[in-house]
Structure 1
Amino acid sequence: MSETEVALAPHPLLLADGAPAADAWSLDPALTHLNHGSFGAVPLVAQERQARLRAEMERAPVVWFPELPGRLAATRVELAGFLRVDAGDLALVPNASAGASVVYNALARRRGGEIVVTDHGYGAVTMGAERLARRWGGRVRTARIPLGADEDEAYEAVTAEIGEATDLVVVDQITSATARRLPVERIGAAARRQGIPVLVDGAHAPGLLGTPLADATYDFWTGNLHKWGCAPRGTAALVARGPLRDLLRPLIDSWGAQDPYPDRFDQQGTLDATSYLAAPTSLDFVERTWGWSAARRYMDRLADYAAHVIGAAFTRLTGADSRADVGMPVPGMRLVRLPDGLGRSRIEADALRDRVARELAAEAAFTSFGGIGYLRVSAHVYNTPADYEHFAEKFVPVLGNWAREQHC
């Protein structure tokens, strides 16, 4: 995309009655919401659907819970259709980290007990891999991938760490901290040729990628529907293929423990499963209102515009180039480099997020990689160009002042 095209602001999306898209959400208008990617945002229609389901549960719990496995099985069929996978391969889990934990709990050491991860991995999932390696008496090998690595470079960095002692490869489809893709299809194929299982962390993929499991050559994939899919929180899918999937069991043993995969995941005692049941409402709302393909195009163009406007504001302020080359970009997410001194570590980035929310009334995502801080843009349908223009005009100067304070 050319510089001229990047600078063009897309027309904001509207509802069928001409109202702003944000009217379909309950987001506080006193805040600037620029961080959909962390926790998602649930449209009102899905909130209302979940509230009705909860009321139904509370009116007759003895009726509700025995019927729940059948309702969840029907919901899995709907969600599998959205992801374009076989419903028999899909289990419901609370989030992508829970899906990873299910896999970690199931696998046994078969070779040398080594687990390959990357330095772009999500912290909780990587910590789970480290715990598993300790249980196996093995170790974690970390593939170092430069931020701007292209597909070949990223592939070679990961496969270089795979060897005769490798028992599992864990790789992100879309990285959380660095907002880039990794070539999971090629990595999965390479590992399969050596008989090594692969777990793909697809936390950000549902809704952001049209067919996140197309050309899949990996054993396990887990992704959140409550991020870009806007489902009620605590809704994720675990997709497993091949003989190892029969080893997978829910984190809680219940009366469905003897059922086959994935049915055994449909019975989890008295857990509130209304988030799962209401998830199709969110997915259908976006499809009916704009269509998912159109929504993704808008989010991508808006993220481009946001990175251009905010990056240019930082560059005018500091004189430094604020662009970030991530090698394999993804729709709807971009990185903008922060002034030196801000967000240099995960702890500093989280503290900056909290300070911006507290003092500037803005919800924004800040990340770090290689000792450099970034603003992570994650645009959704309810965002508009004005949101990012406001950030550039009002918040960039403040962030510049905070950066200078670090040097005083």
Structure 2
Amino acid sequence: MDADWPLSPTPLHLNHGSFGAVPRFALTAQAALRDEMEAAPVRWFAGLPDRIAAARAEIARFLRVAPETLALVPNASGGASVAFAGLPFPHGGEIIVTDHGYGAVTMGAERLARRRHGTVRTVHVPLDAGAEEAASAVIGAITGRTALIIADHLTSPTARFLPVDLIGRVARERGIPFLVDGAHVPALLETPLAGVDCDVWVGNLHKFGCAPRSTGVLVARGPHVQELWPLIDSWGAPLPYPRRFDVQGTLDVTAQLAAPGTLTGIDARWGWAAVRARASELAGSGASVIAAAFTALTGEDHTVRVGMPAGPMRLVRLPGTLGTGPGAPDALRARVLAELSAECAFGQFGGVGYLRLSAHVYNSTADYEEFAERCVPVLTRWAGPVSTRSTPWPAPSPDR
């Protein structure tokens, strides 16, 4: 694996989910595309729309969706911004989000609501809620003013799936536009949009798919497709969706052009089914090792009961109040990187702090054993005094 990835042996890489990692062969392919662009810029940009169209057709086949439904965008958040600008939203309307949502997308929803003098309602979904309970929480919040529903396919802060198939079915029946944030899902699921009825679905190929950054996809279906426009107005404006997204002026889109070869290259080297299985096993066993290390020091149960868990992404409960409070997860991430030389993701939910593990094929069991041995004792000290328990730690309170 070391020969296939440019990752440094230090720090520990336990957070593939945030920014991904790009294999060497993909970086080489992207560099060759950049050389081609710089060698003859006029020829490059004149022929670029056709090359982008060909790339998105290959990506559509990989995601098992129709090419005419897929456009390429910088990232999932950029795709959400396209949806906010294009989907109909009446004056005084209401947007439903969940308390598992990605912060930047929720901020975009709030900005849309402010522009239209509307409101955003945040629905609580218990961390351990199964599909029916989670769907009922969202569906039960719908009112006559609900004009947009947003749900994560796989939640970033809490590493769980949400039942977007069940939510989408009701949204379509009631004529409410539905945006699904699937940032982490491309390549993590073999057929990510199977059974999902939504107006817009966005995802990143540079997360689990390991494509060069930034490569996002937007899949649009339903009555509002032709109301969706690129973030940049360019010469493709007279074209229909998705072709208008193929014309974006002088942007460097070598990452998007290299993405299809990355997806097929990983499949040829390791096989996507094997990658998913290995990453899921590593994340699961790694979470168990780290949780046990915390338990040995605190006497508390640090395992996390998650409804609809995501295989390659797992949570471990942090001791005490570590990682909680405004800005605390990001501050902890920075401190762990600076002082413990480990790239990690931290989050909080329901007043509890969590370590989020996100594994890929380049990880090994030794990574998690090292973190348990070297980092867990330090994190426990940072948490301060914690009580010793002989009974399991209770599930997070639904009150926020």
TM-score (norm 1): 0.93
- Which of 299, 304, 314 matches 1:319? 299
SS in 2 for 1:243: coil
Q: Deviations over 1:220-240 (max 9, x none)?
A: 100000000000011010000
- Which of 281, 285, 295 matches 2:265? 285
- Which of 44, 69, 74 matches 1:94? 74
Assess if the C-alpha contact under 8 Å between 1:39 and 1:226 holds in 2.
yes
Once the two structures are superposed, the pairs formed by residues 24-63 of structure 1 within 5 Å of their partners are 24-63=4-43
Query: Aligned-pair distance for 1:346?
Result: 5.7
C-alpha distance in 2 between matches for 1:384 and 1:339:
25
What amino acid does structure 1 have at the position aligned with 2:251?
L
C-alpha distance in 1 between matches for 2:296 and 2:326:
26
Indicate whether 1:391 and 2:371 are aligned: yes
Indicate whether 1:274 and 2:254 are aligned: yes
| Two-structure CA RMSD over aligned residues (Å) | 1.3
Query: Aligned-pair distance for 1:107?
Result: 2.4
Indicate whether 1:331 and 2:331 are aligned: no
Equivalent in the alignment of 1:298: 278
Indicate whether 1:188 and 2:156 are aligned: no
C-alpha distance in 2 between matches for 1:35 and 1:115:
31
Equivalent in the alignment of 1:175: 155
Equivalent in the alignment of 2:353: 373
Assess if the C-alpha contact under 8 Å between 2:90 and 2:116 holds in 1.
no
Equivalent in the alignment of 2:122: 142
Indicate whether 1:358 and 2:338 are aligned: yes
Equivalent in the alignment of 2:50: 70
Query: Aligned-pair distance for 1:405?
Result: 7.4
SS in 1 for 2:3: helix
- Which of 200, 205, 211 matches 1:231? 211
Percent identical pairs in the alignment equals: 60
Query: Aligned-pair distance for 1:206?
Result: 0.5
SS in 1 for 2:327: helix
SS in 2 for 1:23: coil
Query: Aligned-pair distance for 1:112?
Result: 4.9
C-alpha distance in 2 between matches for 1:336 and 1:353:
15
Assess if the C-alpha contact under 8 Å between 1:111 and 1:165 holds in 2.
no
TM-score (norm 2): 0.95
Once the two structures are superposed, the pairs formed by residues 189-228 of structure 1 within 5 Å of their partners are 189-228=169-208
Q: Which runs of 4+ in 1 moved over 3 A?
A: none
Q: Which moved more, 1:82-91 or 1:106-115?
A: 106-115
Query: Aligned-pair distance for 1:341?
Result: 2.3
Gaps of 5+ in 2: 388-400
Q: Deviations over 1:344-374 (max 9, x none)?
A: 1361111111111111111111111111111
Assess if the C-alpha contact under 8 Å between 2:199 and 2:222 holds in 1.
yes
- Which of 316, 320, 334 matches 1:340? 320
Do the aligned partners of residues 149 and 359 (structure 1) sit closer, same or farther apart at CA in structure 2, a change above 3 Å counting? same
Query: Aligned-pair distance for 1:110?
Result: 4.0
Equivalent in the alignment of 2:237: 257
Gaps of 5+ in 1: 1-20
Q: Deviations over 1:262-314 (max 9, x none)?
A: 01001111100001001112211210111101110111111110011000000
Q: How many residues align?
A: 387
